[in-house]
């Protein structure tokens, strides 16, 4: 039983790494723009498709395909931010409703272009197995963890040690005051959304080869990512990291004791419970942004 | 412009040919209703279902149609995409039976959608012949207008449980879709397992889930002898890849989606070797009816035949046979009466509906050989070596 | 309420009731109108919450599901008369809605949405997984059409169509009376500025709770009628996608307008049926419409009909 528990914790960590990657972009956009972007999962999915497309049709180099996916997704993110979220600034409800509309548009356009069948995205890194006690994980899974940690570190450094990062934090804390001290709030928002979009492309590019590339591939990670940032307190990098891993571990460990058809419900009972007991999340504070 | 000329030339030739092919025979058309899915998550199984209907219609029309009361009729298919939704299924059924006035409706993939279509079939007295959904309730409702060509999940379970019992694969665990097919499969097996087989771990996942790591771990630590994968090709290939990567020493049992060359392409012979799966019809079996169908299917669609296609192909022929016997192409109650009594030898086997409208076609179990071919293990009198499955 | 509005309402309702006389038996148009009505009823419930009170629930379809499974269990397993089961189903939905509301309503807007989403997913899991009670994923089949009352029967399509018209009209009337009452004015005040409303000594939580419970009860009524019409309750009719469809219907039709939910439902059900669009294109178009409405036309389709009406927002 102890061994089974330990194994499930490791499975949960691997699963959680994916949620962290999705949660980071979601959290950043929420923390700065106050947009709860339900379309983030659709962007992750689109990033997966773009990476697969670049890899199999343009250049057979995985790092360049990831870069290509990010570059191709950035204009999409720009259009969403300028065209939809910027005009709806401070209108929380309509931003969520608009982002639900965007999910429908993006997912179904992908269905029209690529069709409903899942695409296989074969990489050498998915074939190499790394033993880990009785468990074995593919190299790609460690790549997900590595990339996730690298993103966390880069984001942390950017927000805390660069001038623009300071401007981002200032905007997150108080957009009005940021404007007064001469920060170009519009530009901060645009750049933040661009980083969020790049994180989505990155997540999709890493997830695609691990499993399959298909139109609904972003739905599950979006819901779990959402759960993660709520658990961690919206708007904190460390909260998103801890929240993501926590959701992954709870989900995996719950299969030992709870009927597995309620596995998804478990994650949401946890969020509902956390929010009801601690309305600002498990690690959340009342301030809007903490790096 | 050139392509336009080419197209018109081709059209002229085709028109000339078709006139030449059936001289002086005034052809009338009968429109048959089809409910399936061409888009959305059910598009993949829907494609196999529609391939079966299209192939059957093409063959019937290629032979100059069918004859009822001295008149020759060609078959047209009116296909509606219902996305496995109960409300959209009801809409399509209502439209087919009133606006399109079809004499019979075939197909469906989802048990829930079929359950919404069945009462409309009864209201409007149009037989509904199911060719894929497996929910036992559909025929257990005793709706006189509902017929099912394919085996339901209880029938599948009975044959499979018999097979698993003979092999002594205990405990038996599951990874199953948390939908009607997956849950129905688990419940059916749970009821039919012989006493020597214990039920092990049951892991459900949602359509769209791709990570099976916690199920794989639980299957290993539960000491399962065999694991049954109740899902279709895409998650199936992921689940097998993850089970093999984890090196869990279990016998894998799959569904009819997994005994095909298409599935082999998703994985490889080494990872499939030894796995067994049930099938509605093994495409390479040394039986003339199966061989003929498999060859025609491959010639038309360029890939190996699929069980859903075979069931649907037979379904359309059953409907035509019923119209011939009822001597009508419009009268629903008469066609229903003919369906209730007819016997038809199809590709999947003998189709004869019981009092609830359920046929009892044979269920096969095939096994992957080491070289990527398949053999037939069950039923015992059909057993055949590598290359036959 | 202006007498003219009441006259228009009565004439339209009567006209719809007479429609089968002109369109014969079992016409497909009637089926489409029934389905539109069955979407419009829960949408009206959501409109009271989303449009008039500012409570965006992303789990509304699951509350319709409570009513649906309640009526299924009460009529099939308990053998109750449909007309007894129907109010009980609506009450069950209202009660579950009230409990969820009591838990969620102290949360601010985003958190509120997410917790309603979470409750929707949890309720859907129960409907899908509890095989022995709900019939599981294959659905609860064999639900009867409503029992006859005296001479009035509800079995055939034209009969059920008339029932749907009456039910939709009744729910519409309840909505109209509610939003124009003192109660409705408080809801509107809460939507515009909850803190200010609370300063006036109004217990805003109690009002929001009431709106949530009434909206859920109406949803339950719609769900119960829907499964009685389809004669099967399928968990996929009450999942997250359907909850989002209801938000779509209300917002595109015109949130916070009386006609919005009905127009939205007619467009959502009717237009794709007549154009026979592939579902991808249909959802691309509706998704784009949803974005466009939030950006440019807050009063949705209903706003096109009454563009000059005094803005309450």
Predicted local distance difference test score (pLDDT) of residue B23: 42
CB of A42 within 8 Å of a chain C CB? The answer is no
CB of B148 within 8 Å of a chain C CB? The answer is no
A279: closest chain C residue by CA? C107
Predicted local distance difference test score (pLDDT) of residue A126: 83
A 10 A CB-CB count for B195 gives: 7
Predicted local distance difference test score (pLDDT) of residue A284: 60
- Chain centroid to CA C73: how far? 21
Q: Which residue of B39, B98, B204 is in closest CB contact with C28?
A: B98
Rounded average pLDDT over C268-296:
82
The pairs formed by A154-161 with CB atoms below 8 angstroms and a separation of 24 or more are A155/A24, A155/A28, A155/A195, A155/A237, A156/A237, A156/A291, A158/A195, A159/A237, A159/A291, A160/A291
Shortest Cα–Cα distance, C291 to chain A (Å): 5
A116 to B266: CB separation less than 8 angstroms, yes or no: no
Q: How far apart are CA A19 and CA A14, in angstroms?
A: 9
A116 to B39: CB separation less than 8 angstroms, yes or no: yes
Interface test with C, best of A104, A113, A275, A286 (most C CBs within 10 A): A104
What band does A285 get if pLDDT is binned at 50, 70 and 90? low
For residue B358, the cross-strand partners are: B148
Predicted local distance difference test score (pLDDT) of residue A283: 65
Quick one: fold of C3-305?
ABC transporter involved in vitamin B12 uptake, BtuC (1.10.3470)
Q: Which residue of A87, A94, A272 is in closest CB contact with C115?
A: A272
Q: Which of residues 152-191 of C touch B (CB under 8 A)?
A: 156-157
Cα B260 to Cα B254, B309, B362: the distances in Å are: 11, 13, 18
Q: How far apart are CA C114 and CA A30, in angstroms?
A: 14
A212: closest chain B residue by CA? B210
Q: Which of residues 223-242 of C touch B (CB under 8 A)?
A: 226, 229-232, 234-237
Q: How far apart are CA B86 and CA C232, in angstroms?
A: 8
Residue B207: DSSP 8-state: T
Q: How far apart are CA A212 and CA B208, in angstroms?
A: 10
CB of A119 within 8 Å of a chain B CB? The answer is no
Q: Are residues C220 and C64 in contact, defined by beta-carbon separation less than 8 angstroms?
A: yes
Cis previous bond, C8, omega within 30: no
What band does C273 get if pLDDT is binned at 50, 70 and 90? confident
A115: closest chain C residue by CA? C280
CB of B39 within 8 Å of a chain C CB? The answer is yes
The residue ranges of DSSP E strands in chain A, in sequence order, are 129-132, 135-138
Q: How far apart are CA C262 and CA C53, in angstroms?
A: 18
Predicted local distance difference test score (pLDDT) of residue C190: 92
Which tens digit of pLDDT belongs to each residue from A5-16? 988 998 999 899
Mean pLDDT is lowest, of A170-184, C33-47, C180-194, for: A170-184
Q: Which residues of B touch A (CB under 8 A)?
A: 39-41, 43-44, 178, 183, 202-211, 213-215, 217-218, 220-221, 234, 238, 245-247, 266
* Average pLDDT value over all residues in chain C: 90
The pLDDT of residue C259 is above 80: yes
Cα C172 to Cα C65, C209, C262: the distances in Å are: 20, 20, 9
What band does C25 get if pLDDT is binned at 50, 70 and 90? low
CB of C278 within 8 Å of a chain B CB? The answer is yes
The pLDDT of residue C255 is above 50: yes
CB of B203 within 8 Å of a chain C CB? The answer is no
Q: Which residues of C touch A (CB under 8 A)?
A: 54, 56, 103-104, 106-111, 113-115, 117-119, 121-122, 125-126, 128-129, 244, 247-248, 251, 279-281, 283-284, 286-291, 294-295
Entry field: residues in chain C = 313
A102 to C121: CB separation less than 8 angstroms, yes or no: no
Residues A66-88, buried b or exposed e (16+ Cβ, 10 A)? bbbbbebbbebbeebbeebbeeb
B179 to C137: CB separation less than 8 angstroms, yes or no: yes
CB of A139 within 8 Å of a chain B CB? The answer is no
Mean pLDDT is lowest, of A54-58, B162-166, C20-24, C290-294, for: C20-24
Interface test with C, best of A108, A279, A282 (most C CBs within 10 A): A108
Query: Which residues have C-beta within 8 Å of that of residue C1, sequence separation ≥ 6?
Result: C176, C177, C180
Q: Which of C91-95, C132-136, C194-198 is most confident?
A: C91-95
Residues B94-129, buried b or exposed e (16+ Cβ, 10 A)? bbbbbeeebbbbbbbbbbbbbbbbbbbbbbbbbbbb
Closest CA to C49 of C283, C218, C238: C218
Domain B154-279+364-382 sits in CATH 3.40.50.1360: no
CATH 3.40.50.2300-classified regions of chain B:
9-151+286-352, 154-279+364-382
The pLDDT of residue C35 is above 90: yes
Q: How far apart are CA A156 and CA A158, in angstroms?
A: 5
B115 to C236: CB separation less than 8 angstroms, yes or no: no
Closest CA to C240 of B8, A223, B306: A223
A 10 A CB-CB count for A21 gives: 28
A7: closest chain B residue by CA? B217
The pLDDT of residue A281 is above 80: no
**DSSP one-letter string for C103-141:** HHTTS-HHHHHHHHHHHHHHHHHHHHH-HHHH-GGG-EE
Rounded average pLDDT over C114-140:
93
ipTM: 0.89
Q: How far apart are CA A32 and CA A196, in angstroms?
A: 11
Interface A:B, Cβ pairs < 8 A: 78
Q: What sign results for the dihedral spanned by CA atoms C209, C214, C218, C221?
A: positive
A98 to C287: CB separation less than 8 angstroms, yes or no: no
Q: How far apart are CA C37 and CA C269, in angstroms?
A: 9
Residues lower than pLDDT 70 in chain B = 1-26
CB of A4 within 8 Å of a chain B CB? The answer is yes
CB of A7 within 8 Å of a chain B CB? The answer is yes
CATH class name, domain B9-151+286-352: alpha beta
Burial class (CB in 10 A: 0-12, 13-18, 19+), A3: exposed
Rounded average pLDDT over C183-207:
91
The pLDDT of residue A227 is above 60: yes
Secondary structure class of B33 (helix, strand, coil) = strand
C31 to B187: CB separation less than 8 angstroms, yes or no: no
The pLDDT of residue A202 is above 90: yes
Shortest Cα–Cα distance, A197 to chain B (Å): 23
For residue A136, the cross-strand partners are: A131
Q: How far apart are CA A21 and CA A18, in angstroms?
A: 5
B214 to A117: CB separation less than 8 angstroms, yes or no: no
Q: Which residue of B40, B141, B184 is in closest CB contact with C279?
A: B40
CB of A102 within 8 Å of a chain C CB? The answer is yes
Q: Are residues A45 and A211 in contact, defined by beta-carbon separation less than 8 angstroms?
A: no
C230 to B90: CB separation less than 8 angstroms, yes or no: yes
Interface test with C, best of B81, B136, B180 (most C CBs within 10 A): B180
Shortest Cα–Cα distance, A10 to chain C (Å): 26
Query: Which H helix or E strand runs over C10?
Result: helix C3-23
Rounded average pLDDT over C254-279:
86
Q: Are residues B255 and B308 in contact, defined by beta-carbon separation less than 8 angstroms?
A: no
**Partner chains of C (3+ C-beta pairs under 8 Å):** A, B
Report percent pLDDT > 90 for chain C.
70
Predicted local distance difference test score (pLDDT) of residue B126: 97
Q: β-strands B364-368, B350-352: how paired?
A: unpaired
A108 to C280: CB separation less than 8 angstroms, yes or no: yes
Closest CA to C75 of C124, C157, C145, C136: C145
Query: Which residues have C-beta within 8 Å of that of residue B294, sequence separation ≥ 6?
Result: B283, B284, B304, B305
Predicted local distance difference test score (pLDDT) of residue B131: 97
Structural domain boundaries of chain C? 3-305
What band does C263 get if pLDDT is binned at 50, 70 and 90? very high
Predicted structure pTM score: 0.91
Cis previous bond, C103, omega within 30: no
Report percent pLDDT > 70 for chain C.
95
């Amino acid at each position: 039983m102890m061994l089974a528990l330990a194994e499930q914790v490791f499975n949960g960590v691997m699963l959680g790494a994916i949620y962290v990657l999705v949660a980071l972009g979601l959290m950043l956009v929420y923390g700065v723009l106050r947009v709860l972007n339900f379309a983030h999962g659709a962007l992750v999915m689109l990033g997966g498709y773009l990476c697969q497309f670049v890899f199999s049709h343009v250049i057979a180099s995985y790092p360049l395909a990831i870069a290509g996916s990010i570059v191709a997704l950035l204009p999409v993110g720009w259009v969403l931010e300028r065209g939809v979220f910027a005009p709806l600034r401070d209108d929380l409800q309509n931003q969520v409703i608009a982002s639900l509309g965007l999910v429908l548009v993006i997912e179904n356009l992908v269905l029209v272009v690529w069709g409903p069948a899942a695409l296989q995205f074969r990489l050498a890194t998915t074939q190499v197995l790394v033993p880990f006690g009785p468990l074995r994980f593919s190299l790609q899974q460690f790549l997900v963890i590595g990339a996730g940690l690298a993103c966390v570190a880069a984001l942390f450094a950017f927000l805390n040690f660069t001038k623009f990062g300071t401007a981002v934090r200032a905007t997150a804390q108080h957009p009005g005051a940021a404007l007064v001290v001469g920060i170009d709030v519009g530009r901060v928002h645009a750049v933040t959304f661009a980083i969020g979009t790049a994180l989505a492309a990155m997540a999709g590019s890493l997830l695609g080869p691990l499993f399959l590339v298909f139109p609904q591939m972003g739905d599950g990670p979006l819901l779990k990512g959402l759960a993660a940032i709520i658990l961690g307190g919206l708007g904190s990098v460390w909260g998103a990291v801890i929240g993501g891993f926590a959701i992954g571990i709870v989900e995996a460990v719950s299969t030992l004791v709870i009927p597995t058809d309620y596995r998804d419900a478990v994650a949401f009972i946890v969020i509902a419970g956390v929010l009801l007991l601690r309305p600002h999340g498990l690690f959340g504070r009342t301030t809007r942004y903490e790096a | 412009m050139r392509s336009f000329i080419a197209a018109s030339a081709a059209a002229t030739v085709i028109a000339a040919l078709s006139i030449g092919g059936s001289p002086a025979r005034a052809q009338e058309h009968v429109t048959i209703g089809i409910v399936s899915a061409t888009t959305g998550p059910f598009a993949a199984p829907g494609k196999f279902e529609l391939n079966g209907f299209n192939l059957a219609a093409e063959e019937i029309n290629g032979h100059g149609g069918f004859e009822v009361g001295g008149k020759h009729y060609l078959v047209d298919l009116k296909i509606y995409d219902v996305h496995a939704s109960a409300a959209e299924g009801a809409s399509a059924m209502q439209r087919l039976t009133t606006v399109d006035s079809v004499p019979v409706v075939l197909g469906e993939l989802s048990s829930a959608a079929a359950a919404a279509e069945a009462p409309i079939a009864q209201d409007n007295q149009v037989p509904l012949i199911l060719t894929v959904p497996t929910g036992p309730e559909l025929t257990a409702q005793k709706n006189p207008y509902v017929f099912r060509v394919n085996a339901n999940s209880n029938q599948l379970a009975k044959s499979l449980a018999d097979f698993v019992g003979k092999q002594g694969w205990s405990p038996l665990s599951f990874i199953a879709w948390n939908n009607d097919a997956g849950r129905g499969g688990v419940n059916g097996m749970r009821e039919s397992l012989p006493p020597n087989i214990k039920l092990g771990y049951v892991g459900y996942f949602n359509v769209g889930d791709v990570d099976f790591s916690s199920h794989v771990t639980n299957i290993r630590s539960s000491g399962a002898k065999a694991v049954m994968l109740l899902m279709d090709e895409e998650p199936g290939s992921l689940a097998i890849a993850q089970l093999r990567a984890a090196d869990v020493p279990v016998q894998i049992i799959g569904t009819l989606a997994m005994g095909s060359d298409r599935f082999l392409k998703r994985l490889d012979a080494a990872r499939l070797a030894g796995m067994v799966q049930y099938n509605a019809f093994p495409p390479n079996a040394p039986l003339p009816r199966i061989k003929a169908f498999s060859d025609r299917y491959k010639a038309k669609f360029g890939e190996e035949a699929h069980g859903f296609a075979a069931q649907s192909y037979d379904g359309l022929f059953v409907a035509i046979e019923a119209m011939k016997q009822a001597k009508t192409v419009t009268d629903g109650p008469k066609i229903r009466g003919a369906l209730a009594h007819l016997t038809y030898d199809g590709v999947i086997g003998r189709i004869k509906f019981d009092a609830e409208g359920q046929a009892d076609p044979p269920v096969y179990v095939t096994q992957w050989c080491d070289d990527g071919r398949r053999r037939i293990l069950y039923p015992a009198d059909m057993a055949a070596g590598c290359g036959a499955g | 309420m202006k007498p003219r509005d009441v006259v228009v309402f009565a004439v339209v309702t009567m006209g719809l009731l007479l429609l089968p006389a002109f369109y014969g038996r079992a016409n497909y148009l009637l089926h489409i109108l029934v389905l539109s009505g069955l979407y419009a009823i829960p949408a009206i419930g959501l409109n009271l919450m989303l449009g008039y009170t500012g409570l965006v629930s992303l789990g509304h379809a699951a509350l319709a599901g409570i009513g649906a499974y309640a009526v299924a269990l009460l009529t099939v397993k308990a053998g109750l008369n449909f007309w007894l089961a129907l109010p009980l189903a609506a009450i069950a939905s209202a009660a579950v809605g009230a409990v969820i509301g009591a838990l969620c309503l102290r949360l601010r807007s985003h958190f509120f949405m997410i917790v309603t989403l979470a409750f929707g997913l949890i309720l859907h899991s129960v409907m899908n997984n509890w095989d022995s009670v709900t019939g599981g994923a294959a659905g609860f089949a064999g639900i009867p059409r409503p029992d006859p009352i005296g001479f009035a029967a509800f079995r055939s399509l034209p009969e059920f169509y008339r029932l749907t018209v009456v039910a939709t009209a009744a729910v519409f009337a309840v909505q109209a009376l509610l939003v124009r009452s003192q109660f409705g004015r408080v809801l509107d005040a809460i939507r515009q500025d909850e803190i200010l409303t609370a300063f006036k000594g109004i217990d805003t939580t109690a009002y929001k709770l009431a709106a949530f419970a009434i909206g859920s009860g109406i949803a339950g009524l719609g769900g119960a009628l829907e499964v009685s019409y389809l004669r099967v309750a399928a968990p996929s009719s009450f999942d997250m996608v359907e909850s989002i469809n209801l938000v779509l219907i209300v917002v595109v039709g015109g949130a916070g307008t009386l006609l919005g939910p009905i127009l939205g439902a007619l467009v959502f059900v009717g237009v794709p049926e007549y154009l026979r669009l592939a579902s991808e294109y249909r959802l691309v178009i509706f998704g784009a419409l949803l974005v466009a409405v939030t950006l440019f036309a807050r009063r949705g389709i209903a706003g096109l009909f009454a563009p000059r009406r005094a803005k309450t927002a």
